[in-house]
Every structure is written in structure tokens, then in C-alpha cells.
Amino acid sequence: MEARKLAVEGALEFTSRTFSDDRGVFVAPFQREAFETARGGPLFAVAQGNHSLSRRGVVRGIHYTVAPPGAAKYVYCASGRCLDFTVDIRRGSPTYGKWDAVLLDQVGFRAVYLPVGVGHSFVALTDNTVMSYLISAPYVAERELAVSPLDPELGLPIPEDIDPILSERDAAAPTLAQAAERGLLPDYEHCLELEARLGAAARPDHGLTGARS
């Protein structure tokens, strides 16, 4: 497995080696040793695994969890094809307001790690796009917030041939500037502290292991 740093501080892309024969393909989209080597620390304990199915044109996000508790994510595309966005919405971050895009499919078998406080979004490029997530915190509706994926100041590169399909919540989400004015965005230094606690809790001497997205 190869790792690459993304334009958002702390975010990582992973590309897995594939094994093919006349039966099909085998791939390991998450590998703990490679993850911990790239991140420079232990993996967070997984609290929840999520699965979403989307048709072409669906745009989900930009979603994030309020901090505290915050949530780290590890995400890959199990079927179909999507353009996945990592967006830095952490106030005080050296890459605040920046984003990176990764094509997730069954050719490169890439996966993305999003640190605590970082926003996540994607656009489904095909029908039956399945996204799989490992997450460090359980879903609690009132803790989940969103920033508009159509914010012109962010300028996420949603393909021109896509007519975005958004949920009511995402369509009504504030821009990044509006969310900042309302005090809704996580603090960078606080997010680093929360992420360090996740790593500490996942060390073997704490009796916890696992992965999260």
C-alpha cells in the first residue's frame, strides 16, 4: 500500500496493490501498518462503520462532526465511481479553506483518511456508487453539521456534466464564510488534541484497536 499526503493538513490518500486472476480481483483497502506508518501514530478505535448507496449526480456533504467529540474517517468506494473531496474547515489550520479531490473507484482502489474536524464530501459519477466508511465516533444527529458543497468561494470541481442532487439539509447548508461567522466551525488546535486522544485510546496498552472513517 502506498500513501500520499493531500493538500489538507493531516489528510492522506492510500492506494492498495491489487491481486487479479481469472476469478476476479482481491484488494485490501485498509492496512493498519501502512496507515500508522503514514500517519506517524496509532490508528483510532473504530466506533462505527457506514455504507451509502448513491445514484449518479448525488452530492453528499460537506459533512463534519462538531468538536468535541469530533470524528476521524477512513473512506473508500466499494463499488461504482466518485470524486471525493477533503475540505479543511478547521479555524486556524495552515490549510484552512483548501480542499483536495481524489478519484475513488475499482481501478486505483484508493482510500482517504480525514482527520478530526475536516469536512468530507463526494459526488457520485455512476449509478450504484457504494461508499464505505470507518468512523471514530458513533452517529449522533445533533452533532453532525454541513457546509454547502456548492459554495462558490470553495469552488469544488463538480463535473460540468453533473446536475447535483442534494439532500434538503445539504442544499440549505451555509457557506464556509457563513458557518465561520456563526461560530459553527471546529478549531484546529482543539482538533489536534482530540485526534491525539484517539490515537492514545487505540494503543494496545489501552486494550483498544481498530480503524475508523
Please state the domain extents for the chain.
2-19+26-206
- Predicted pLDDT at 132: 97
Q: Is 161 helix (H, G, I), strand (E, B) or coil?
A: coil
User: Strand, helix or coil at 70?
Assistant: coil
Quote the CA–CA distance of 79 and 173 in Å, as a whole number.
Answer: 28
**pTM across the whole model:** 0.91
CATH 2.60.120.10 applies to domain 2-19+26-206: yes
Q: Under 8 Å CB-to-CB from 158, ≥6 apart: which residues? A: 59, 83, 123, 149, 150, 164
pLDDT for res 198: 83
Q: So what's the pLDDT on residue 183?
A: 97
Under 8 Å between Cβ of 35 and 47: no
Query: Across the strands, what pairs with 146?
Result: 63
pLDDT of residue 203: 58
Positions marked active-site: 63, 133
Give the pLDDT score at 210.
Answer: 40
* Rounded CA separation 85/99 (Å): 7
Print pLDDT tens along the chain (213 aa).
999 999 999 999 999 988 999 999 999 999 999 999 999 887 788 999 999 999 999 999 999 999 999 999 999 999 999 999 999 999 999 999 999 999 999 988 999 999 999 999 999 999 999 999 999 999 999 999 999 999 999 999 999 999 999 999 999 999 999 999 999 999 999 999 999 888 666 555 544 334 333
Beta-carbon neighbour count of residue 160 at 10 Å? 6
Residue 55 is classified by DSSP as: -
